[in-house]
Amino acid sequence: MDRLKIIKKNIMEKKTTILNLTEEEFVHSGNRACSGCGLSIIYRMGLKALGKNTILVVPPSCLTVLQGLYPVASTKLPCVNVTFASTGAAATGVRGAMKALKKENVNVVAWAGDGGTGDIGIQALSGACERGEDIIYICYDNEAYMNTGVQRSGTTPQGVLTTTTPIKGKLQEKKDVPAIIAAHGIGYVATASAAYPLDFYDKVKKAMTISGPRYIHVHTPCPPGWSFDTRFTIKVGKLAVKSGLFDLYEIEDGEFQLTGESKRLVGKEKPPVTDYFNSQGRFKSLDAELVKKVQERVDAKWAKY
Amino acid sequence: MKTEEFCKMISRSKPGPGDGGNTGSWRVLRPVINLELCIPVKMNKKACFNCWLYCPDSVVSKTIPPVINFDYCKGCGICAEECPVDAISMVDEATPMEEEK
Amino acid sequence: MHIIESGNVAAATGVKLSRAQVIAAYPITPQTPLTEKLSEFVESEEFDAQYIPVESEHSAMAVCIAASTAGARAFTATSANGLLYMSEQLHWAVGARLPLVMCVANRGIGAPWTVWNDQQDTMSQRDAGWIQIYANDHQQIIDSVIKAFLLAQTVSIPVMVCYDGYILSHTYMPFEQPDQDQVDSFLPPFAPKNFLDPENPGNFNPVTLPDVRPGVDGEIEPGYIEIRHNLHEDLRTTLDTYAAIDKEFEEQFGRGGNPLIEQYKCVDADFVAVCIGSLSYQLRDVIDLMRDDGVKIGVMSVQMYRPFPDEVIVAALADKKCAIVLEKALSYGNQGALYGDIKSALYNSDTKPHVHNYILGLGGREIKTQHLLDALTESCKSPETIGDTPRWIGLKL
């Protein structure tokens, strides 16, 4: 490892703590996000990390609602709302303009939901990754189309009840979007969770030190969509990680490594996935056979770590 | 033919608080901090601040003691759930606030 | 400089002279040589622009929308299904009031696939709110592109410059290429009042309410309907604005004078053949033949189709015996869109001509001079008896 890389690594490994986390806020209180919203937590953290010199690109999603109805904006950063399928391309356009106007020092950040990223937005995002656009793309994954009333998405896990899988639960497995993005060979892919906001903050900070396309996929609990009490947003998010269902990792220059809580879990006994399933109403139609299958999949995955 | 004569209306919002109105009115339960248990208060130094970190609506201050902005607190209860010493309890919104008593 | 080039290269040259800053495009026949030329200009460093080879037309327009919101002059080009694939984005660009310019090499729409020319693609997008300018030849293509950039940024409404696929896009014609200095003095840099600015943050295109609402400073701000009404009013004013821009262009470059409609031998005419695009030149030959036989007929091409120059068209047609509208597109199940618009414009006129409608050339079907001659002759012979149903020219089965 060359000197620069070591220095960079040392700087990065100084983890942010609650005490040294900036008090500056970029999201106004009194916005329209639901009570206990996981997105609100990570949006607040992400914007703290990104800071003032940032331009946001946002497709339709809960974030559109959080950001406020005309003429009031709940975000203190410039933002362009774009059509659902176009986020990756629109971020490309902002970066293109920054290059043309010689304003190189701006973070261009796309922030979209899981449906807007892995379903309708995947083509534009894939194009941006392939072209090597200098953008940060953050996907908050609340595992369904929440803004329209909890319809299934490609990233809804198997067995989950949604308004379009109302009786049997979703039949198919969750689409692995970060793996698809990583297959483009971009410099930085990471996962994070709303339950570990400082870990997410540090990943955004790290992404800002890298150029080219950077992708962060954030597991984001949603109280109304997942049917749990608003006070448990962090608890539910942590259970997803601790049970080994959602893993925190980074893929930097093609090198995969577990991070944070997931790294600490290697070789340790984990709570069963049923603890996570029982914490929410959306899993209540799961049968024992599927639960067993999911547990086996998790165990097999962790056996490789 | 002046540019200023055109496009007098454009959908560009300006930043400001309270787009959702007084979201404090959404509350069913209200967080109340027991200052005798609260870590930064007890230690009289900057510490813990889990309530500040996890608050989705940035309505808790990073101060000693932490202060909650009830104009906008939606009453989710995350602060109460994440407080490591159970210093925050969620009380029925119908009970009068301290200053109302 | 006098050069001989294809219509697509005329368009590309106009874009370069206009100093577009961000260009995004996806290849589709017959637009491709235009984007190839632009990428060549950029790669050879002859032209300082960001050329972004996107993965779809939807993304091409997304790039332009975002780049323009960020304050850059943006351009794209497409044809047919590519235009339809960006349809959602077309509406978005208008509502966001972005001064984009897009060239469309007109082509028929599938299914079944056709790569050849008609005008169904752009006509189908007439209600999006884009300004539509149609060029009849290569000179008009390059001049219209330059004028379009000035118009777009003056009125904050995007402009489509449309020209017939193959007939204009791929044929070679001589045209005058303006000097860069001249274009620079005609077209000032794009310097928007509102743009994505970390120093002055704003949230562009948020959800807008049905009603007005006070802003953070207490002022009442518009609802959706006011914003859209403002767009419509600005589009109506655009007719005069474009005429003024054309006049300015004419003073500087010595070309122009027919910004909204172009007329050929119409002054003393009893009959006027009306069309859009390159067909107007073919019609001039036909009309000359008919004039030789003593028929007082002229040709009028509609240069700006949206906003619709209704007053100018009424003034040009109201005292004629018959207007014969020939179209390479139609509103299926009804009639030609231009025909409908012209009839509607004439409705309140004290005098009005009979109006006939012919549909022709769809999917590139060859338009034969003899067919045009036959149709126009018939219309001129019996203006009263030809009914409201569109008549088709050149059908073989």
- DSSP secondary structure of C218-271: S-EE--HHHHHHHHHHHHHHHHHHHHHHHHHHHHHHS--S-SSEEEES-TT-SE
pLDDT (tens digit per residue) in B52-89: 999 999 999 999 999 999 999 999 999 999 999 999 99
**Concatenated DSSP letters of A8-29:** HHHHHHS---TTTS-----B-S
A52 to chain B, closest Cα gap in Å: 13
Tell which residue, B48, A232, A95, has the closest CA to residue B60: B48
How far apart are the CA of C224 and the nearest CA of chain B, in angstroms? 9
> What is the location of CATH 3.40.50.970 in chain C?
2-186
Residues 8-37 of B with CB under 8 A from C: 8-16
Q: Is the pLDDT of residue C388 over 90?
A: no
Q: Can you tell me the distance from the alpha carbon of A68 to that of C163, in angstroms, rounded to the nearest whole number?
A: 42
Interchain proximity A29–B52, CB inside 8 Å: no
Share above pLDDT 90 across residues of chain B, in percent, rounded to a whole number? 86
Nearest to B76 among A30, A31, A35 (CB): A35
pLDDT at C117: 98
Contacts of C21 in chain A (CB under 8 A): 97, 100-101
Residues forming a β-bridge with C261: C302
Provide CB contacts within 8 A for A148, sequence distance 6+.
none
Shortest Cα distance, chain B CAs vs residue A13, angstroms: 20
Calculate how close chain A gets to B33, using CA atoms only, in Å: 15
- Report the alpha-carbon angle C57-C99-C187, nearest 5: 120
Please state the rounded mean pLDDT for residues B2-16: 90
C154 touches chain B (CB under 8 A): yes
The verdict on a CB contact (< 8 Å) between A93 and C205 is no
For the record, the structure tokens of C348 come out as 């309140």
Model confidence over C333-363: pLDDT tens digits? 999 999 999 999 999 999 999 999 999 999 9
pLDDT of residue B4 exceeding 90: no
Mean pLDDT of C236-242: 98
Residue A250: how many CB atoms within 10 A of its CB?
A: 19
- Which fold is adopted by the domain B29-94? Alpha-Beta Plaits (3.30.70)
CA distance A94 to C195: 11
Q: Which residue of B has its CA nearest to C203?
A: B13
On chain C, the residues whose CB falls within 8 A of the CB of A75 are: 201, 203
- Given an 8 Å threshold on Cβ–Cβ distance, is A72 in contact with C197? no
In the CATH scheme, what is the code of domain C2-186?
3.40.50.970
What are the tens digits of pLDDT across the range C81-116? Answer: 999 999 999 999 999 999 999 999 999 999 999 999
Task: Provide, rounded to the nearest whole percent, the portion of chain C with pLDDT above 70.
Answer: 100
What kind of architecture, by CATH, is found in domain C261-392? 3-Layer(aba) Sandwich (3.40)
CB C133 within 8 A of CB C162: yes
Chain region(s) in chain C for CATH 3.40.50.920 = 261-392
Helix (H) or strand (E) holding C391: strand C391-392
Residues of chain A with pLDDT under 50: 1
| Interface predicted TM-score of the whole assembly (ipTM), two decimals | 0.96
**Closest C-alpha to C25, from C10, C45, C8:** C8
For chains A and C, count residue pairs whose Cβ atoms are closer than 8 Å: 172
Write phi, then psi, for B92 (nearest 5 degrees): -55, 135
Q: What is the CATH number of domain A3-304?
A: 3.40.50.970
**CA distances in angstroms from B64 to A28, C134, C277, listed in the order given:** 22, 69, 74
Residue C17 to residue C3: CA distance in whole angstroms? 15
Question: Distance between CA atoms of C171 and C105, rounded to whole angstroms?
Answer: 12
Nearest to A78 among C62, C65, C201 (CB): C201
Q: State how far residue A25 is from chain B, nearest Cα, in angstroms.
A: 8
- With an 8 Å Cβ cutoff, the interface of chain A facing chain B consists of 18-19, 21, 23, 25, 27-38, 40-41, 44, 67-76, 197-198, 223, 229-235
A55 touches C at CB < 8 Å: yes
The domain locations on chain B are: 29-94
Q: Does residue C51 belong to the interface with chain A, where contact is any CB pair within 8 Å?
A: no
**Window C:15-44, CB contacts with A under 8 Å:** 21-22, 24
pLDDT reported for residue C101: 98
pLDDT given at position A7: 57
Q: Could C49 and A100 be called an inter-chain contact, meaning their C-beta atoms sit closer than 8 Å?
A: yes
Evaluate if residue C75 carries a pLDDT over 70. yes
Q: Do A124 and C59 touch (CB under 8 A)?
A: yes
